[in-house]
Amino acid sequence: MARFPIPYLGLLYLCCWAAMADAKYKDPKLPIGIRIKDLLNHMTLAEKIGQMTQIERKNATVDVMKKFFIGSVLSGGGSTPKTNASAADWINMVNEMQKGSLSTRLGIPMIYGIDAVHGHNNVYKATIFPHNVGLGATRDPDLVKRIGAATALEVRATGIPYAFAPCIAVCRDPRWGRCYESYSEDPMIVQQMTELIPGLQGDIPANSRKGVPYVGGKDKVAACAKHFVGDGGTVNGINENNTVASGHDVYSIHMPAYYNSIIKGVSTVMASYSSLNGVKMHANRAMLTDFLKDTLHFRGFVISDWEGIDRITSPAHANYTYSIEASINAGVDMVMVPYNYPEFLNDLTDLVNKKAIPMSRIDDAVRRILRVKFSMGLFENPLSDHSFADKLGCKEHRELAREAVRKSLVLLKNGKSPNQPLVPLPKKAPKILVAGTHADNLGYQCGGWTIEWQGLSGNNMTDGTTILKAIKATVDPSTNVIFEENPTPDFVKSQGFSYAVVIVGEVPYAETNGDSLNLTIPEPGPTTITNVCGAIKCVVVVVSGRPVVIEPYVQSIDALVVAWLPGSEGQGVADVLFGDYRFTGRLARTWFKSVDQLPMSLGDAHYDPLFPFGFGLETKPNSH
């Protein structure tokens, strides 16, 4: 090895430092294209591959960020700095990791991402908005845009600049465990609800080029349209399964919302676990590169799903080198590893050195990642401050969530005959019964993807108002509200109740755990309906992520309301039940008679629903 005198080495270091200090990529006045090109020219292969790597926060120490040039960190569902972490706890954790990234040779900031899919749902005391299935029933894109803006503020309140939302799946079969993440079975409604993107990111400037990512400032976050493409059309609604579809169906049902998302400047697109006509989406070059990037001119980055590339093989991770090669060459730019990052870094480096993955593909991926980071202003503002901390779960956002609940409720039946409506319910009555497993359970009301990945049961998981609490706050002070979760018929008959509100539904789930071939309401729900509605006048409120089997009970029910998964603000349910506001929601999904009919969507030859797509009775509000 040649020996250099110490002064020479010092001079060499100074020259390098001077070159870096003069680097064009650090100048915010220069066009983004020039900054990207300059930074790419400075980067080693290790630095480029680091940018393509996203790891779970549990691995992300300052040393790891610095040593491996990690480009991105995420929180998986329920992965938090500590139990009941505050906004400050989140900010401090994210900033600590960011300091590791900024201390690298080039100081490229990392981007932290989180699943904020119905509000900032992993975070204690955040506002939990209704899940997408309910928002679709509102038919109100402006409401959804405002929810996006509120969610962005709450995500920024915790120092995070990137949300894995919206899910723009078109769920064609309610047996799918992610159906509540879909706005509708109708692609047109899903297209309208892409207004969440300008809510999260800001409205793109009038002169913006199509497909270029845009994030409009420190109160906005990068969004992610997911899961590309066809995730809602799998056979029998089985999660991560194969979608068998003609080209016409792909482009007219599953693809349209991506056109809108790209026009609105969405920063990232997440590949789906599912396959399309037998080809795994994470390895589908025709869709990810030829169509999404080349035909639609998407200029942001494509991110994998959680261990998504591992699942290219069956069993997962059986041939990881192949999975890396297939996914990167197909067009995946950033890989959600999330744990075993040394293996990913080593294997990808090896594949590039062997020319199995061309350097041009690596440069394209890194260029896209840097474009998003520059467009977000991450280089100028890499560290988060506490200026939005008071927005987490603030009153204004809770009022917005309450409005969303009101507008999402769908009235399916009102009275055993049209001239004897039961709702709006009278606030003043001597004694009323509230029954059912979902009446006083905030966790059930919020569903999956709330505090924990699979959701929780109970009332101490975060802040909010249960439907029981809301009813008690709404009725006349003289009205005696009796809560009995699963009363006997004798109890119901003997107490002299004026009427009953029965609130039952599904227990929380997420992803594959929610796949269901029977779609029945779990016991004691059906028993509670039978016991109560067989004895007195009753309104049944269904809390669920999708249509469920209700046909056997409809005859005995006086009024039937579907509340979907309303989130933390149960007061919105009582607002409409008792007539302070009117019912306006309409089904964005077909309600089947029996599961044997599935899949069944509007326009199918065998369409014979219990309640058709678009159905929803309206009421007039009570006069005050």
20 band by pLDDT with thresholds 50, 70 and 90 = low
pLDDT digits (tens, 9 = 90+) for 422-450: 999 999 999 999 999 999 999 999 999 99
* Mean of pLDDT values over 56-67: 98
pLDDT digits (tens, 9 = 90+) for 275-318: 999 999 999 999 999 999 999 999 999 999 999 999 999 999 99
> What is the signed CA dihedral for 464, 465, 466, 467, rounded to 10 degrees?
-140
* % pLDDT > 90, the chain: 94
* Mean of pLDDT values over 336-365: 98
Angstrom distance (rounded) from CA 386 to CA 15 = 38
Judge whether residue 7 has pLDDT over 60: no
* Mean of pLDDT values over 129-141: 99
* Mean of pLDDT values over 319-339: 98
Judge whether residue 609 has pLDDT over 60: yes
CB-based burial label for 353 (10 Å; 0-12, 13-18, 19+): exposed
Q: Which of 140, 185, 231, 305 is catalytic?
A: 305
pLDDT at 418: 81
Q: Where in the chain is the domain with CATH 3.40.50.1700?
A: 409-611
* Mean of pLDDT values over 195-204: 98
Neighbours of 496 (CB within 10 A): 9
Judge whether residue 458 has pLDDT over 50: yes
Query: What residues contact residue 382 under an 8 Å CB cut-off, 6+ apart?
Result: 98, 101, 102, 109
Q: In whole angstroms, how far apart are CA 428 and each of 114, 299, 495?
A: 45, 59, 17
- What does the mean pLDDT of the chain come to? 96
pLDDT at 16: 46
Indicate the CATH number for domain 24-376.
3.20.20.300
pLDDT at 14: 43
Q: Where in the chain is the domain with CATH 3.20.20.300?
A: 24-376
Q: For tokens 């026009």, name the residue.
A: 263
Q: Under a CB-based contact definition with an 8 Å cutoff, are residues 226 and 168 in contact?
A: yes
pLDDT at 13: 44
Angstrom distance (rounded) from CA 50 to CA 176 = 35
Bridge partners of residue 275, in order along the sequence: 242, 280
pLDDT digits (tens, 9 = 90+) for 414-425: 999 888 999 999
Neighbours of 434 (CB within 10 A): 22
21 band by pLDDT with thresholds 50, 70 and 90 = low
86-124 b/e (C-beta count within 10 Å ≥ 16 → b): bbebbbebbbebbebbbebebebbbbbbbbbbbbbbbbb
pLDDT digits (tens, 9 = 90+) for 474-498: 999 999 999 999 999 999 999 999 9
* Mean of pLDDT values over 363-374: 98
In the chain, the amino acid numbered 374 is F
pLDDT at 3: 46
Residue 511 catalytic?
yes
pLDDT at 15: 43
Q: Under a CB-based contact definition with an 8 Å cutoff, are residues 292 and 258 in contact?
A: yes
CA angle 595, 597, 598 (to 5 degrees): 70
pLDDT digits (tens, 9 = 90+) for 539-563: 999 999 999 999 999 999 999 999 9
88 band by pLDDT with thresholds 50, 70 and 90 = very high
Q: Which of 173, 452, 511, 515 is catalytic?
A: 511
Judge whether residue 334 has pLDDT over 90: yes
What is the topology classification, in CATH, of domain 409-611? Rossmann fold (3.40.50)
pLDDT digits (tens, 9 = 90+) for 505-516: 999 999 999 999
Angstrom distance (rounded) from CA 95 to CA 431 = 54
DSSP per position, 401-466: HHHHHHHH-EEEEESSSTTS---SPPS--SEEEEESTTTT-HHHHH-SSBSBTT---SSSSS--B-
Q: Under a CB-based contact definition with an 8 Å cutoff, are residues 232 and 170 in contact?
A: yes
DSSP per position, 275-306: EETTEEGGG-HIIIIIIIIIIS---SEEE--T
22 band by pLDDT with thresholds 50, 70 and 90 = confident
Judge whether residue 204 has pLDDT over 50: yes
pLDDT at 622: 80
Q: What token pair was written down for 45?
A: 């292969």
pLDDT at 124: 98
